[in-house]
Structure 1
Amino acid sequence: MASGDTEKWRSTALLVIDMQNDFILPSSPIHLRGGQAIVPNVIKAVEVARKRGIPVIWVVREHDPSGRDAELLRRHMYSPGKPKPASKGSVGAELVDGLVIKEGDYKLVKTRFSAFFNTNLHSYLQSNGITSLVITGVQTPNCIRQTVFDAVAWNYHPVTIIVDATAAATPEIHTSNIFDMKNIGVMTPTLEQWCESGH
């Protein structure tokens, strides 16, 4: 790739949010319907990002098996006999097949919906000259939406959501949340459009 192309993407980062077994695989009791369908597009987005020299940030949930660091509304999931979603060190917390953290990537652990809440994401992005974000992953009304709204509040621009590399429980929920985010200035290309347009 020409150095000019790499220079163009110097201030952009790709966030891959919660693409973990517990949230994606149908065998998981807490899987997100619609999540598995976007796996190929997330894989492709990561490949394109790497070719462009865009840093890949893997945003994942990892909770204490007791759930003591989870939101109050989710604590009941960590009681005896419950699924204990994304427990640190569990198979469920691992990325789904096809997604691999490589040398040069960055892994960010969060315990709330937003990737910015009580994490070092903003300072990490600032210190690396990142001013523009591209978002993929799950799920649209929760972790995607909260991260996007915080990114806009922190003046990241542009913020881009790849609409067919993100998902919600239903297409209707996904579409309505994309509509809301588009209305605050977020770019919403398909993967094909993002690959072609260079935004």
Structure 2
Amino acid sequence: MRPEDKPDGQKRSFVEEARRAQIIESAIGTLAELGYTGTSLARVAERVGISKGVISYHFAGKAELMEQIVERVYRDIAQFVLSRLEKEATATGALRETIRSVAEYMRDHRTQLLALGEVVTNLRTTPDGALRYGIAFNEPIYDAREALFRRGQQAGEFRPFDARVMSVTVQAALDDMFAYWVTHPGHDLEAHAEELADLFEHATRSEDPGATANR
């Protein structure tokens, strides 16, 4: 019986959780080094120093392991960014800090970014073969950022604009920033993020000169 198949209410033990985390970490490193096609359960097991059967006990297969990586990375990013947003009282400040903090996190977690890119661009669903993580996967991100824009508009910080369009545009800019950094590791990621923060502050701010902004 795999841990996921335990009766309702019965949680995984500390040892099981630690082993799953170790396997996920190994898979992230393997993906970053060998790419999606080069990453197999056997390769991940070899990296950890365990048998492939141990991985099969904790995960149904490669697809489930890949999904857990995406969940883990997104959760870690969200926790980091949200902790930075707690001190931001304005929507303008929150927008700028979101852009800055996600870049700061990825700067120190390049391996996670590489692994995430491999999974998102390669993992497909069955039986239709569509990408598992398409644009629709970003809907919760779009929703949260749209809510931020609407809050700023209601407070008079932001000018009238389509909040969904702006939300999608911000995310596309962030995705392209990271894609460029992966291709050009020497690129100044934090300076790029600062430029984006300036760009979107100017694009969204109210034309009212008395509106509050937080730089």
Question: One fold, TM greater than 0.5?
Answer: no
TM-score, with normalisation over the residues of structure 2? 0.27
For CA contacts below 8 A with separation 6 or more, give which structure has more relative contact order: 1
TM-score, with normalisation over the residues of structure 1? 0.28
For the pair shown, the structure with the greater C-alpha radius of gyration is: 2
Q: Which has the higher strand share?
A: 1
